[in-house]
Amino acid sequence: MPGLGTSFGRGAATGYQQDLQNSDCILIMGSNMAEAHPVGFRFPIKARERGAKLIHVDPHFTRTSAMCSQYVPIRAGSDIAFLGGLINYVLENERWFREYVLAYTNAATLVSDQFVDTDELDGLFGGFDAAKRDYDPERKGWHYQDEPSTPKTQTPPEIKVESFSERLGFIQNPQPPSDPSLADPRCVMNILRSHYKRYTPEMVASICGCTQQEFLEVAEAVCQNSGRERTTAIVYAVGWTQHSTGVQIIRAAGILQLLLGNMGRPGGGIMAMRGHASIQGSTDVPTLYDLLPGYIPQPAAIRNHNSLREYLEQEQVPHGYWANFHKFMVSLLKAWYGTAATAENEWGYQWVPRIDDNYSQLPTFMRMADGKVKGLFLFGQNPAGGAPNAGINRKALRNLDWLVVRDWFEIESACFWYKGPEHPDPGTVKTEVFFIPAAASSEKQGSFTNTQRLLQWHDKAIDPPQDCRSDLWFVYHLGKRLKQLYAGSKELRDQGLLNLTWNYEYRQPEILPGGARSRIHGEPDAERVLREINGYTVADGKLVSGFSDLKEDGSTACGCWIYSGVFPEEGRNRARQRKRTPGNLTEPEWGFAWPHNRRMLYNRASADPEGNPWSDRKKYIWWDEKLRKWTGLDEPDFEPDKPPSYRPPPGSTGMASIAGDSPFIMKPDGKGWLYAPAGTKDGPLPTHYEPVESPVRNLLYSQQENPMVERYGDLMNPIADLLDPRYPVVATTARLTEHYLSGPMSRFNSWLNELQPEMFIELSPELAAERNIQHGSWMVAWNCRAAIEGKAMVTRRLRPLTVDGRTLHQIAIPFHWGFAGETVGSIANDLTSVVADPNVSMHEAKAFTCEVRAGRLEDTRTDPPLPMAAWPTRERAPDTPDSNQPEGQVL
């Protein structure tokens, strides 16, 4: 999440959900928290019960809106305008937290004279090369004063997640020139003011479709509830990320929170609500093509990464915590290649594959649709329904030679060859599908890393049935067989595989909770994997206590440095801890939060520059002068004994270059970045662009959409014309509590299906009346990519908006249905397109255009659903055991 990373240093939610109950105001925007994170939503409710104001800004009124004090309707894809409006309101009315902003942000830092803002270039920043559709590194001039205009490393556009240093926003001078009086017109604060001065309440209302009054009420609420005594939190999820401007929306929230002084403080922060059970874990120990564990960049063939030395040099960041980067990299190689990794062979660096292009999901499936991918392993994913423009994804799957699907059910992505809206002829589909049943989470052990970076271990409750095996089992044995297959090979490219340390099987027989021996042969012991992730000293195999123990000389091995400390000593798996700490919401002994069990990031900012809490009400950690250390309710996200008065001596590097009053220790200057001189590809400041498909002209600039937007497969993936009159309706896709994603985890479960048994589309009574659509009857939504049908849910929860003086209709489509399972229905993702944010290749499923009509699709053939589950017990209606009847013991 570079949106957060660029602003604060780490791409993860800045706090923990329990802390939301400390908020005085919570702005929920781009998240449907009550429906998608119902358990975590108890904390906003607790805050509400303590008097906090809850605000939901969303295109459709949801169960979250129902629980909030204020609901503001907004047009999908207009969030930067809204947030920009808030920033402008804060600045115009001088509501920003002066001491905080001056001390902890780059407000006073001076930006290069070469910087040209969007105001002058009508929506483009300086340095745009229209031919290349890219900002030219030589000319853009976004840097601070006295910095070289081109950074040391520059990511080619093919690579999405930028280099390490870029991700952080590389700067060479940790103390760039600044003007604390904020008088200099080139200081960040003044650039910010002029950038956002167009975002007036009138402008916000006419772009977003809410009323000025609604907007002003929100603005007042966040301002009144920020400052020394009060804090406001922002909650977002994929209602923000799934846009061609997703990263910049989150950046805008970061700017607002920095200006209001809400970062690193109890009840403040930005709570990124993540998705799948361990999706945070899957970026920490990544399944991404361009990252190694712990956010270490994948070596790239198109950068100067030929040797380990060059790679390290290039990716090194001299200031802040990332200065330790080389220790983490060497320890990682040591963990992977064990004794084969030596100083002479660069710890096996040459065995690590290099990337040369964008291999994220969207382009990979585009290539597959072009027939350029032969085989695919699909582990727990359902692109035939869940991925944007799902029609292309199904086409892509039909173009494979072979496909291995490991799943619990025969999902859309496993039965696409004989089912689906295209009604394929199985005889003509060449893909050979191997369906391999997977174990469920209760049938295997392992850890989840949840939305607040908390690792929680779960044990195996029972053996998986029949041939189901854990994914770990499958990958482990696949690896073993591959090693066997390539045994003896002298090819360089095979050495990585052959030298991999690959020994995770149980040392003693695996015992189930009941005491019985497990039936599964060769099940790997997930705790052994966790131990390797935690790290150990190579000489004696002793576990390290945390990442500060890691060395660059090959004497330590560590599979993922940010998780280091999770298994600090024999027999102590901290992810397994379940001890409550009454009175302390951080619950430090419940699970383990990376890094180093810190529950709230940047928490140094909860104290003022001198180290005292900003207020008694909001105290969290503080400097204890007597003990000469930071203490409080949480692990300090700071060097524990660095006094507030510490000033880095000139020329210092690493953590020594971070001053005692600089809370953002990942940043080279230790500051929160209002202005991002580097780190985002589409500009240093968030700017409102319209979604790629929009019926509305950009009212702020003539640059209509994000100039850097990623587009794919022009023919397969048609996009509506600019302001296309054929598709006047704005559509967004959303989740329902009752279902899960593209549906496999819920549509094979009768208890969930009965709760939401059919695909429907939500629309306002006004739109329904215009198109003659009856509530509860069939309707069709279509655009240039596909047409889908569903039952019409005509409801006042959707309302027409007045945008740019015109009435504009929005519809909300749940994306949970498909053609496998007990309930079947049209796939919302057949309508969405493959266009993406330039920073992270996130698709734009949350805003596109379409048209609606009453009736059904022409082709009404549907795939028969599976039958509802039979009564799950042997007896037709279950008896409470007789011994449990108050009077019936004898029967």
Q: Which residues bind other proteins (CB under 8 A)?
A: 34-35, 38-39, 41-42, 45, 61, 63-67, 71, 736-738, 750-758, 760, 775-776, 791, 793, 795-797, 822-823, 868-873, 875-882, 884-891
Amino acid at 398: R
The residue among 63 and 326 lying less far from ligand SF4, judged by its C-beta, is 63
Alpha carbon distance 270, 241 (integer Å): 14
Q: Kindly state the smallest distance separating residue 238's Cβ from Mo ion, in Å.
A: 6
Q: Does 740 bind ligand MGD (CB under 6 A)?
A: yes
Bridge partners, 572 (sequence order): 569
Pairing of strands 629-632, 556-557: unpaired
End-to-end CA distance of the chain: 62
Cβ atoms 107, 176 nearer than 8 A: no
The residue among 336 and 740 lying less far from Mo ion, judged by its C-beta, is 740
The residue among 636 and 743 lying less far from other proteins, judged by its C-beta, is 743
Alpha carbon distance 874, 218 (integer Å): 56
Q: Kindly state the smallest distance separating residue 81's Cβ from ligand MGD, in Å.
A: 11
796 binds, among ligand MGD, ligand SF4, other proteins, none (CB under 5 to 8 A by kind): other proteins
Q: Please give the order of strands across the beta sheet that includes 25-29.
A: 70-73, 53-58, 25-29, 232-236, 270-272
Query: Mutual orientation of helices 79-92 and 212-224 as an angle, nearest 10°?
Result: 60
The residue among 353 and 878 lying less far from ligand SF4, judged by its C-beta, is 878
Q: Does 36 bind ligand MGD (CB under 6 A)?
A: yes
Number of residues engaging Mo ion in binding (CB under 5 A): 1
Q: Of the listed pieces 35-43, 158-166, 171-179, 364-372, which binds ligand MGD according to CB under 6 A?
A: 35-43
The residue among 350 and 795 lying less far from other proteins, judged by its C-beta, is 795
Alpha carbon distance 623, 608 (integer Å): 10
Q: Kindly state the smallest distance separating residue 360's Cβ from Mo ion, in Å.
A: 15
Q: In which residue are the tokens 């509400």 written?
A: 48
Cβ atoms 559, 567 nearer than 8 A: no
Cβ atoms 654, 324 nearer than 8 A: yes
Q: Of the listed pieces 207-215, 296-304, 485-493, 732-740, which binds ligand MGD according to CB under 6 A?
A: 732-740
Q: Kindly state the smallest distance separating residue 275's Cβ from Mo ion, in Å.
A: 2
Alpha carbon distance 84, 90 (integer Å): 10
The binding site for ligand SF4 (CB under 6 A) comprises: 37-39
Alpha carbon distance 75, 66 (integer Å): 19
Amino acid at 879: D
Q: Does 71 bind ligand MGD (CB under 6 A)?
A: no
Contact flags string 365-404 toward ligand MGD, x per CB under 6 A: --------------xxxx---x------------------
Instruction: For residue 717, give both structure tokens.
Output: 């993936």
Q: Kindly state the smallest distance separating residue 52's Cβ from ligand MGD, in Å.
A: 19
The residue among 68 and 731 lying less far from other proteins, judged by its C-beta, is 68
Residue 103 DSSP one-character state: H
Number of residues engaging ligand MGD in binding (CB under 6 A): 56
Q: Does 380 bind Mo ion (CB under 5 A)?
A: no
Among 1, 20, 25, 57, binds ligand MGD (CB under 6 A): 57
268 binds, among Mo ion, other proteins, ligand MGD, none (CB under 5 to 8 A by kind): none
Taking CB under 6 A as the criterion, which residues in 810-829 touch ligand MGD? 812, 815, 828-829
Let me know if 784 is exposed, middle or buried by CB neighbors in 10 A (0-12, 13-18, 19+): middle
What are the φ/ψ torsions at residue 624 (nearest 5 degrees)?
-100, 105
Q: Does 846 bind ligand MGD (CB under 6 A)?
A: yes
Cα distances (Å, whole numbers) of residue 136 to 141, 380, 452: 9, 39, 37
Among 119, 471, 610, 770, binds ligand MGD (CB under 6 A): 471
Bridge partners, 854 (sequence order): 779
Pairing of strands 402-407, 536-537: unpaired
Amino acid at 733: T
Among 117, 134, 214, 407, binds ligand MGD (CB under 6 A): 407
The residue among 38 and 465 lying less far from other proteins, judged by its C-beta, is 38
Q: Kindly state the smallest distance separating residue 73's Cβ from other proteins, in Å.
A: 10
Q: Kindly state the smallest distance separating residue 35's Cβ from ligand SF4, in Å.
A: 10
Q: How many CA atoms does the CB half-sphere of 829 hold within 13 Å?
A: 28
Q: Kindly state the smallest distance separating residue 51's Cβ from other proteins, in Å.
A: 8
Cα distances (Å, whole numbers) of residue 681 to 10, 163, 299, 507, 551: 17, 12, 20, 49, 33
Q: Kindly state the smallest distance separating residue 253's Cβ from ligand MGD, in Å.
A: 11
The residue among 63 and 528 lying less far from other proteins, judged by its C-beta, is 63
Among 19, 21, 47, 79, binds ligand MGD (CB under 6 A): 79
Q: Where are the alpha helices (DSSP H) in 197-347?
A: 201-208, 212-224, 238-241, 246-259, 281-284, 308-315, 325-337
Q: How many CA atoms does the CB half-sphere of 868 hold within 13 Å?
A: 8
The residue among 319 and 688 lying less far from ligand MGD, judged by its C-beta, is 688
Cβ atoms 210, 204 nearer than 8 A: yes
Alpha carbon distance 854, 787 (integer Å): 12
Helix (H) or strand (E) holding 853: strand 848-854
Alpha carbon distance 84, 70 (integer Å): 20
Alpha carbon distance 547, 563 (integer Å): 8
433 binds, among ligand SF4, Mo ion, ligand MGD, none (CB under 5 to 8 A by kind): none
Torsion angle (degrees, nearest 10) of CA 435, 436, 437, 442: -130
10 binds, among ligand SF4, Mo ion, other proteins, none (CB under 5 to 8 A by kind): none
The residue among 33 and 258 lying less far from ligand SF4, judged by its C-beta, is 33
Contact flags string 244-283 toward Mo ion, x per CB under 5 A: -------------------------------x--------
237 binds, among Mo ion, ligand SF4, ligand MGD, none (CB under 5 to 8 A by kind): ligand MGD
Alpha carbon distance 664, 671 (integer Å): 5
Q: In which residue are the tokens 């564990």 written?
A: 293
The residue among 231 and 364 lying less far from Mo ion, judged by its C-beta, is 364
**Chain residues in the site for Mo ion (CB under 5 A):** 275
**Chain residues in the site for ligand MGD (CB under 6 A):** 29-33, 35-37, 57-60, 62, 74, 76-77, 79, 237-239, 242, 273, 275-276, 379-382, 386, 406-409, 411, 438, 441, 471, 732-735, 737, 739-742, 744-745, 812, 815, 828-829, 832, 845-847
